[in-house]
Structure formats: structure tokens, C-alpha cells
A = this chain, B = another copy of it.
Amino acid sequence: MAHSQASIDDTQIAPVELGDAGITRQEWVYLQLKEAVLTGQFVPGRSVTLRGIAQMLGTSPTPVREALRRLVAERALEAHGNRRVSVPRMTPAKLSDLCAVRANLEAFAAERAMPLIDDAHLERLWELDAEVDAAIEAGDIRGYLQRHRAFHFTLYDVGDASAVMPLIESVWLQFSPFLRLAIHHIGSDYIVDRHVEALHAVSARDAQALRFAIEADVREGLGSLTEQDWRELEAAG
């Protein structure tokens, strides 16, 4: 196997230069890598080397080492016994598990955030949903992933920092590389969501309806992959 690139343009990261905005080099590397993972720039199974990333980002291995430790701790990357780090491969069991956790976590977060969502916040959410649809219409997968994520995170992240947000982010980091692959395989035509339903539930202050919408959104999004899809995906990869 070794380098099964799975027909996706690889490692196209670091478009912006280090802004020197009081940010440490390690944090910059971390943000770059995280965004790359979330937008599916890293193919599952790909091994991530210290010096490779360092050279790609134009730094010494030191900041990369620390950034990788953070990402491994957040389950975005996977550390093997060989002391080597790679992008985790997805398995049916893992996907099912991740899907259940995500549904539970985000339904909880949405229900908790609902009372704190004001009109301005709600309007922002409508805008984001429109941008999501526009990205789908344009076939812009990377843009879709970013908008989609922005919608969900904006919905949950209200008021001061909640303890659930980092947990939700960790889950997203785990399924995102696979999601990109799946969308690329299935095509962007079949993407559906329950965003409108969720926003209506928020407007009506209907906690149960909101919970149902979020759970359905997750189930029909992540959990919709059938066994056949799996076989096709593995054959393609």
C-alpha cells in the first residue's frame, strides 16, 4: 500500500505567510495543520513526518513537533507505536461510534445554546446557511466544508467559552479527513442538511425540535454511508 493518494490533490497548505502577529511559530504551524486536516487536505493513511512538515512550512522541526503533539492529543492525528504520526484511517465501527458521539454532543450543545441565541445571532446563522448552499451549488467542496463547519460552530458557540466546544472540535477533527474523501466520492449533488429545520426550531424556542433536527442532520450526513459506499470508497482508495 504505502502511498495510496486516493486521487485527491495532496498537501496544498500554507498559503499565507507567518504574519508575526504576536503568535508563536508553534501555534502558527498548529493552525495551519489543523485547517489542513479540517478541509481534508490530508488523506487518511498518509504519514506525517517531522522534517517534511518543517520544510513544507519553512521552519525547524521543533515547532512542528509540538504542533503534532497537540493534534495527536486532539485526536486529529494518530501516533503509532513506531513513534510515527499519520492521518487516521476510518473504519465502519469508528465512523458509527463517532457519529453517535457527535449526535449526542451537538444535540446537547444546541439545546444549551438555544436560550442564548438572539436575533443578530440567528440572522448570522441564516447567512451562513445560505453560504453553505451557495458553496454546494458552485461545487466548491473546500468552501462547503468551511461554511458547514462555521454554521455548526456558530450555532453552539454562544456566550463565553463552553466546555463542550473543544470536545466537539475534537470530533470534527476526527471525521473531517474522511468526510472530504466521502464527499469527493459521492459528489456534492447529494449533500443535504437540516439547517433550515434547526433554525426554525431555534426561532420557535422548541428545544425538542432543535434536538431532533441536529440529530437528524448528523445521522443523515455522517451516518448515511452504506456498506456499499464503503466498498466503493476502499476500491477507489
Contact = CB atoms under 8 A, between A and B. Distances in A.
Contact of A163 (B70, B112, B164, B174): B174
A133 to B, nearest CB: 30
B160 A93 contact: yes
Interface in A17-40: 24, 26
Interface string A138-168: 0000000000000000000000101110110
Nearest to A164: B101
Given A66-B66, A160-B93, A75 B170 contact: no
Contacts of A108: 101, 104
Contacts of A54: none
Contacts of A97: 162-164
A182 interface: no
A97 B156 CA distance: 14
A124 interface: no
A177 to B, nearest CB: 15
Given A66-B69, A104-B108, A163 B94 contact: yes
A69 B30 CA distance: 11
Top 8 A-B pairs, shortest CB-CB distance: A73-B73, A70-B73, A104-B108, A167-B167, A69-B69, A101-B163, A97-B163, A66-B69
Interface of A: 24, 26, 65-66, 69-70, 72-75, 83, 93-94, 97-98, 100-101, 104-105, 108, 112, 160, 162-164, 166-167, 170-171, 174
Given A100-B112, A105-B167, A167-B171, 15 more contacts: A65-B66, A69-B70, A69-B73, A73-B73, A73-B74, A75-B163, A75-B166, A94-B163, A97-B163, A98-B163, A101-B167, A104-B105, A104-B108, A163-B174, A167-B170
